Amino acid sequence: MFAAVEQFGGTAVKTIGDGIMGVFTGPADALNAIATGMKGLAQLNDMAGLAGDDQLSLKVDIHQGSCIVVTLNGRLDYFGKTVNIAARLAGLAQGDDVVLSQEVGADARVYQLAESRGDLRPFASQLSGLPDCFDLYRMTLKSANQSVTAR
């Protein structure tokens, strides 16, 4: 995943448990990195002979918004409501999908890219510790071996 994040101009800024949080200049780059990471994970599962419930999967989301950026221990780190929402959205993912926030789904390039490469369905959900109900999208790639590219 770190290589996929870097390949599309992103930077991995946090590790959270067994997950990573990356920042990108745009949500289409984030979607491309996720699709590349999912393709790599599918290849790893095949090489390792993992099938069914034994397969490794990614639970990922894309959210965008303003946040607080600070330098800690010589590295940039990100804080604030946007980061908290992004961290909670990953918990809604099922492992073979990407959860997109309304802010990301409203981006015409991302929406077009997501619809062309996967099954995109709207849904709404509460997020732990937050009072509002969030309008979201769930995207399932048509094939883990299918690449997604938009610039």
Please give the DSSP secondary-structure letter assigned to residue 96: S
pLDDT score recorded for residue 15? 79
17: three-class secondary structure by DSSP: coil
Least confident of 91-95, 124-128, 144-148: 144-148
∠ CA 26-143-3 to the nearest 5 degrees?
Answer: 45
What pLDDT is attached to residue 143? Answer: 60
In terms of Cβ atoms closer than 10 Å to its own Cβ (0-12, 13-18, 19+), residue 110 is buried
- For the domain made up of 2-141, give the CATH fold: Alpha-Beta Plaits (3.30.70)
Predicted confidence band at 127 (pLDDT cuts at 50, 70, 90)? very high
pTM of the full predicted structure? 0.86
Count of helices and strands (H, E) across the chain: 5, 8
